[in-house]
Every structure is written in structure tokens, then in C-alpha cells.
A and B are shown apart, each in its own frame.
Chain A
């Protein structure tokens, strides 16, 4: 069974640009969550989607947004990029919403110049 797939693996952008990251969950999984990982703050929750609806959101500015499609694939968008947005962005999927184990992909490494 294929795991969580994130594309692209690496991305370089400049300040002020916007970026879209993609996540394909494990087959049959309907819930997708996004996390940001940095050396200083560790792993922080961004948001969770289930059935194309955002269920909950972490403490990030509105520049961070996402969506989920009918096939459960999800995208995350960051607008007006700042240097501090350089991070590893991780996607995790679980079978359903609620208290179920989350399985992570290998992430997209975003570098802002």
C-alpha cells in the first residue's frame, strides 16, 4: 500500500511569492492534516481537512490556506512568502476524522531566499 505522497520534495522561492504544495493521502484515507517543521519551533499543526471541509486550524496567519478535493487529495497554499516560512511542510493522513493515527509523508522542503 503506497504511503502519503507529497510533491514537490524541494522548492526554492523568493520573498513575496506564493507557493502551492500537494499531498496525496494513503488510499482510502479521507482526513488530511498539514504541519510545519522548523528547528526552532518543531512540528506545529497548520490545519486539517475532511470531506473537503476544514475541521480545525492551528495558530498561523491567514497567508496559510488549504483545500481538499473530492478524491481526498489536498493542497496547501502560502501567499506573500516571508523568510520565516522556510521549513519542512509535512502532510499526514488518517482513515477518518477524529482520534485516529496519523501517517506522515516525507514532506516538502521550502526555502525562501
Chain B
């Protein structure tokens, strides 16, 4: 079992829909959770950065962390064709002594 599981997709939704992206993990030491967006031929771009359980909202994006279930989500409201990209979840334990552990990414397609 990999430490972080993420459905690779592709996930195809119509423009304007609410998108839900998810990751599950097995390491209970993870305390910091991130979502990155990666366009083709570009590096990952940080979207959301959260600590421990709870919700965080930034514009059209909402990140949720449920540590009891070892499950994190990213919601995108009013999705746009420009949101089409690969979305990567990442996490790390507390203490800052480890690099980020990534999911393999979900390929998202927003249909105009």
C-alpha cells in the first residue's frame, strides 16, 4: 500500500460544475497538507496549504482535512476550462524533518 493514494482519473466535468478531488493516506504522522496544480510542461503550483484537520477556503477553492479518516479533499467551485490540469496532493509530518510525500495526481478536464 502506497503512503498516499490518489485516483489518477481522468476526471471530466462540464464548465461551472463543482469538482471534488480526494486523497487518502496511511501515515498518521502527517500533519501538513497541500494541494498543487500542475499544467503540462510546468512545475507544480501551490494552491492550498493546511495544518491538521478542518477546512480552509481561498476564492473558488476549499480544502478539507479529516485526520480521523486519513482523508483530504479539494473542492473547486464554478470550474473553468483553465482549471484543466493535474492536481497533486502532498503532505508531511510535523517537525519539518521530512520532504513532501505526494499522491500521483488526478488529471482534471473541464469541458467548455
Contacts and interface: CB of A to CB of B under 8 A. Distances in A.
Contact of A104 (B45, B101, B104, B105): B45
Residue of A35, A42, A46, A58 ringed by the most chain B CB atoms within 10 A: A42
Nearest to A99: B96
B102 A42 contact: yes
A76 interface: no
B99 A56 contact: yes
Given A48-B99, A101-B49, 7 more contacts: A33-B100, A56-B98, A99-B32, A101-B34, A102-B100, A104-B36, A104-B43
A64 B96 CA distance: 22
A55 B97 CA distance: 7
Interface of B: 31-32, 34, 36, 41-46, 49, 51, 88, 90, 92, 94-105
A2 B42 CA distance: 15
A15 B4 CA distance: 32
Contacts of A100: 96
A105 interface: yes
A90 B43 contact: yes
B92 A99 contact: yes
Contact of A103 (B32, B46, B92, B98): B46
Given A99-B94, A104-B36, A35 B99 contact: yes
Interface string A77-105: 00000000000001000000111111111
A104 B51 CA distance: 20
Contacts of A55: 97
Contact of A97 (B44, B96, B102): B96
5 cross-chain pairs, A with B, having the tightest CB-CB distances, nearest first: A45-B99, A98-B96, A104-B43, A43-B102, A42-B104
Given A45-B99, A56-B97, A106 B34 contact: no
Given A43-B102, A101-B34, A101-B49, A90 B44 contact: yes
A100 B34 CA distance: 11
Nearest to B90: A43
A102 B103 contact: no
